[in-house]
Amino acid sequence: MAARQLLLISSSQVHGYEYLQCAENDINNLLRKNNVSSVLFIPYALKDHDKYLKMVKNPFLKWGYQVDGIHNRENPVEAVQSAEAIFIGGGNTFRLLKALYDNNLIDIIRKRVFEQGIPYIGSSAGTNVATKSIHTTNDMPIVFPPTFDALKLVPFNINPHYMDHDEKSTHKGETREERILQYLEEPHAAPVLGLREGNSLLVEGNNAILKGVTRARLFMPGNEAKEISPEADLSFLMNLNY
């Protein structure tokens, strides 16, 4: 069995950077060491697939990679079977997960990642669906996937775009941390890694390293949340069983 290779990005668009620029080095390191020349893009998280593909092509073409949209292929399963690498972008996580199930892509993506070790890059919703479940997404359930169970490429959950409470704000709604803590009260809850914008998680086999320009926040059931700095080793999360 080949080692999984994942780059799970909080956000493609980070203040002060162009689209995907904040993760440019990590994306290129992952793709180049695997001799990738073309990337299969899965745009199902947004409705206008052609417009989304056009936006994604710009940085990848600049870096030297061809990009093929899965929506332009007659058979989505065969597209994944022949892909050198997969990139799933952001948008609505519920819409994305439903489309993955509707197109019978869950099992084939898992097989390509776990058995053949092809690189998987996810951003925002694409990161959400790479985890154990989408219970900790920030999105509205605009459609209903058959289950909240996701690709389970990692055995925990991630909250992309994690935001801290602004002490100066007069807003009295629940904070992101409170929402995550409510999830952790449930018996099925798994650890949650809150990735602030500018964060990503690099997974190679059973090794996981926090990457990026900001700290992340880790929520473990039954424990106090803690801050995690870039380059921290989070490999212990890969061996947890929840």
- Residues 38, 71, 161, 235: which is the catalytic one? 161
Residue 101: exposure state from Cβ atoms within 10 A (0-12, 13-18, ≥19): middle
pLDDT category at 172 given cuts 50, 70, 90 is low
CATH number for the domain harbouring residue 64? 3.40.50.880
- Residues 10, 124, 133, 200: which is the catalytic one? 124
Does 33 reside within a domain? yes
Q: What's the domain count of the chain?
A: 1
Domain range spanning residue 212? 5-237
pLDDT of res. 242: 72
Does 121 reside within a domain? yes
Does 242 reside within a domain? no
User: What are the pLDDT digits (tens) for 177-224?
Assistant: 999 999 999 998 999 999 999 999 999 999 999 999 999 999 999 999
Overall average pLDDT of the 23-31 stretch: 97
pLDDT at 4 > cutoff 70: yes
Spacing of C-alpha 37 from chain mean position? 21
Does 57 reside within a domain? yes
Whether the Cβ atoms of residue 219 and residue 228 lie closer than 8 Å to each other: no
> Mean pLDDT for the chain?
95
Look up residue 232 and give its DSSP letter. Answer: -
pLDDT of res. 78: 98
124 is catalytic: yes
Does 64 reside within a domain? yes
Return the residue matching tokens 């995907």.
20
15 is catalytic: no
161 is catalytic: yes
pLDDT at 169 > cutoff 80: no
- Residues 11, 12, 135, 139: which is the catalytic one? 139
Does 13 reside within a domain? yes
pLDDT at 1 > cutoff 80: no
pTM: 0.95
pLDDT category at 173 given cuts 50, 70, 90 is low
